[in-house]
Structure 1
Amino acid sequence: MAENTQQQRKVIADAVVSMDGYTSTGPEDDMSWAMAHISSEQSELMYEGIWRGVSTAVLGRVNWEGFTSVWPGLTSDPSSSARTRDLGNWLATVEKVVFSTTLQQTDLDKAEWTNARISRDPEAQVRALKAAPGRDILVINSASIIKALLKADLIDELHMTVIPATLGAGVRLLPDGLASTWRLSHTTTIPTTGAVALCYRRP
């Protein structure tokens, strides 16, 4: 019998975070505090280096509702950059798993985006995804999911982009009570916005 040499998929978590450790101001966060970075050309180039190697995107309800209300317009806007349109097309068609306790599959099917399904259990679903064929798995800026997967020791690579702003309160990216060790893989400085992107991997 031939040996199975398939490499297990990596789970990559990516999030923006304020200098005081928050990834959003709360449920109604408008992301205005991070938009200069998110929309910068250097940020687009850096992020492209991540999503090009991904075949499954993971996100929560808040990001699903926010992204599907904004990204179709950005993708079809001729004034958007080529990289923005490429990312929008990728988001629209890539396999997506949306973790929510309130949304139903019919809610997802109403959106312009395709290839999305509901799941209730982040840990069990991500374990199954890691064992399935495919390229890497990307958790997109969803703090609750990142916290759950960190506690379950399921994140292989953690990207945190520190924005030069303090929020004072909101949703923290990292869970309380979790002790873990990481290795710094690389850093990227975004001079136009003053943001610093940190990539950590498990040793």
Structure 2
Amino acid sequence: MSETTSAGAARKVAAEVTVSMDGYSSTGPQDDMSWAMGHIASGQSELYYEGIWRGVSTALLGRTNWEGFTSVWPAITNDPASSPRTRELGSWLASVEKIVFSTTLEQDDLEKAEWTNARVSRDAATEVRALKSGPGRDILVLNSASIIQTLLEEDLVDDLYLTVVPATLGGGLQLLPDGYASTWQLASATAFPSSGAVALHYQRP
């Protein structure tokens, strides 16, 4: 991700997501992510992900990830046993501008969490178009497949960071929308020997 956005240039939208070999981002609403934790908890993953989030000034996520992240990340961030990179990521997540897309959450619900600088939005496509033309660095969707699907259908994703872990789920929430057809260029591929995962960075041609 770029560290700055040039004056007058549109902000880029990146989507980062971890998926199984059969293309699912989770097993469903109660997914505990145990199928992906061997990769997510690795030091190699921390280093790779840091190269993405440090160039971002706005994070996007859906209700499920908001509720899941805010329930576990404050404790992880404050745990002395967490690595320095993990604590830095937690501090960034807590303070960066966050847009939470939900039809059920209200602003008061967000303000009950320890994380700050978050607001609710109902319309992902309209919101992201406005963000792209406004000031700031890049925009990142945090592993929220439903938001990524909407933005892909609206042709609003510039960079797709797809990490494939060596597991199959057999069902759950698919990353790509049904009938979605598109063309991308491979920007980079990174293998993680410790977990067996592969990270693929695609960009619009």
Q: What RMSD in Å do the two structures reach over aligned CA positions?
A: 0.8
CA distance in structure 1 between the partners assigned to 2:37 and 2:131 by the alignment: 31
TM-score calculated relative to the size of structure 2: 0.96
Aligned residue pairs, count? 200
1:74 aligns with 2:76: yes
Question: Which portions of structure 1, spanning 4 or more consecutive aligned residues, are displaced by more than 4 angstroms?
Answer: none
Displacement after TM superposition at 1:5 (Å): 4.4
CA distance in structure 1 between the partners assigned to 2:106 and 2:31 by the alignment: 23
- Residue 133 of structure 1: aligned partner: 135
Question: What secondary structure sits across from 2:100 in the alignment?
Answer: strand
TM-score calculated relative to the size of structure 1: 0.97
Displacement after TM superposition at 1:6 (Å): 2.0
Q: Deviations over 1:29-82 (max 9, x none)?
A: 010000110110000000000000000000000000000000000000000000
CA distance in structure 1 between the partners assigned to 2:190 and 2:9 by the alignment: 27
CA distance in structure 2 between the partners assigned to 1:112 and 1:21 by the alignment: 33
CA distance in structure 1 between the partners assigned to 2:199 and 2:97 by the alignment: 26
1:112 aligns with 2:151: no
Instruction: Map 1:147-186; keep pairs closer than 5 Å.
Output: 147-186=149-188
CA distance in structure 2 between the partners assigned to 1:129 and 1:38 by the alignment: 29
- Residue 190 of structure 1: aligned partner: 192
Question: What secondary structure sits across from 1:107 in the alignment?
Answer: helix
Displacement after TM superposition at 1:9 (Å): 0.5
CA distance in structure 2 between the partners assigned to 1:128 and 1:162 by the alignment: 31
1:31 aligns with 2:41: no
Structure 2 residue runs without a partner (length 5+): 1-5
One-letter code aligned to 2:20: S
- Residue 145 of structure 1: aligned partner: 147
CA distance in structure 2 between the partners assigned to 1:157 and 1:119 by the alignment: 22
Structure 1 residue runs without a partner (length 5+): none
CA distance in structure 2 between the partners assigned to 1:187 and 1:98 by the alignment: 30
